[in-house]
Amino acid sequence: LPAVPLAQGQHQGGFGVHDLLPVNRRSITLSSRPAQATDPATGTVAISARIQRFQDTVWNLDDIRSNFVPDLTGSVVQEGERPFASGSFGDVYRGKLRLSGRSIDVAVKAIRTYSADDTDDVKKTKKLRRELKTWMNLEHVNILPLFGTSMNFGRFPAMVCPWLANGSLTSFLERRHDTLKTAERLALLVDVAVGLQYLHSRSIVHGDLSGSNVLIDGNGRACISDFGLSTLLTKIGGSTYATSGHAGGTLRWTAPELLDLQMPEDEESPLHVFPTPQSDVYSFGRIMLQALTGKVPYHYCIRDAQVLSAIMKGVIPTRPSRALVTDHQWSFMQQCWMPVDAGESRPSNDEIVEFAKKELVRLEKASL
């Protein structure tokens, strides 16, 4: 699927949001613009071009995809001793990517490991780099780009990505809860839906979609990150899928069929459960609830144990006020949360994209 420059005010699929929101809400500007270096041994030319292209074309990354993941170990400088944030499978550090005397703010995602056994590190690193190569080749306005990796943040390659000014969806909604307009909330849902549709069209299942790995740029656009790596990172980190998600705070968005708490018999055994496109759709329903209400799912449950019990019993979040969520929207969320063994299936990718777009158009027409 071709990437669509946001300067045209469009999403992938041709849906124009410029008629509903200001064009500048749909663009990215970054201050520093690194010049190309000339050291072919480090791949600096490729990554400099990638960053400059990222800045110049507003997330249209055509013609700069490489067949390898650049090693940026010597070019990334960590800012602060402690992680800025922690997720399901690792820690996020803020840093500077410095090339040719110039710099750009980056987020460095380091993999957290629970196993002291390093005998398989080489094999695991090869698998990780193979998955990251897939990420490097993705190009979509609602997908966070990967610049390369760094080996200065632990035993495994850490992922170097652009630093997005507004942080995660969860933190963004907490800060903007009283000022964010309904149109902006629905536009975020369009972003996530279209980004997820693109991933699935490339046979990539996110597997860990939550408010912490939907990131918001300086102009309020949502970009999906940390996709397709949940199963691999579970094996690398040395914990089960369910316990990793639980510890990282993504439980509230997780489909019940993924919550198999049984430990594998040994490290080589396959996981008991695997994420699917339908489990991603379930998580999208939770994202939808969060975006419209400004609160995480089951916000009234303080302890994760309460949330886990509710999910396993099939108890969905309490219905929000109709002033925040219409009956039509609530009905669609419930469809996303259908049990896998129910008579009705969850919506398809196309259906969630169509729904999100129509809700935004419906709001625009109602305001005329």
pLDDT band with cut points at 50, 70 and 90 for residue 307: very high
* Residue 62 belongs to some domain of the structure: yes
Instruction: Examine the pLDDT at 235 and tell me if it is beyond 70.
Output: no
Whole-prediction pTM value? Answer: 0.77
Whether 1 maps to a domain, the answer reads: no
Residue pair 105/163 in contact (Cβ under 8 Å)? The answer is yes
Q: Supply the DSSP symbol for 163.
A: P
- Domain containing 354: what range? 6-366
Look at residues 249, 242, 254, 276 and name the one whose alpha carbon lies nearest to residue 337: 254
Q: What gap in Å lies between CA 188 and CA 173, rounded to an integer?
A: 11
pLDDT surpassing 50 at residue 338: yes
Radius of gyration over every alpha carbon of the chain, rounded to an integer in angstroms: 20
Distances (CA, A) of 46 to 40, 67, 108, 144, 152: 9, 11, 19, 18, 21
The mean pLDDT of the chain is: 79
- What is the domain-level CATH number for residue 259? 1.10.510.10
In this structure, is residue 250 part of a structural domain?
A: yes
Closest by CA to 55, choosing from 92, 30, 35, 86, is 30
- Does 39 map to a domain? yes
Domain assignment of residue 140, yes or no: yes
> How many domains does the chain divide into?
1
Q: What is the pLDDT of residues 141-165, one digit of tens each?
A: 999 999 999 998 888 899 999 999 9
Report how far residue 368's alpha carbon sits from residue 20's, in angstroms, rounded to the nearest whole number. 11
**265 in any annotated domain:** yes
Token pair for 68: 């390898």
Residue 94 has pLDDT above 90, yes or no: yes
Give the helix/strand (H/E) hosting 110: strand 102-111
Rounded to whole angstroms, how far apart are CA atoms 104 and 31? 8
pLDDT at residue 183 greater than cutoff 90: yes
Using a pLDDT cut of 70, give the percent of the chain over it. 70
pLDDT over threshold 70, residue 269: no
Least confident of 176-185, 232-241, 357-366: 232-241
DSSP 3-state of 97:
strand
pLDDT bracket for residue 323 (50, 70, 90): very high
Question: Residue 60 has what pLDDT?
Answer: 42
Structural contact between residues 166 and 197, judged by C-beta atoms closer than 8 angstroms: no
Spell out the residues 6+ positions from residue 83 whose beta carbon is closer than 8 angstroms to its own. Answer: 91, 92, 93, 110
Give the pLDDT confidence score for residue 96 in this predicted structure. Answer: 95
For 178-225, give the DSSP string: TT--HHHHHHHHHHHHHHHHHHHHTT---S--STTSEEE-TTS-EEE-
148 or 31, which is more confident:
148
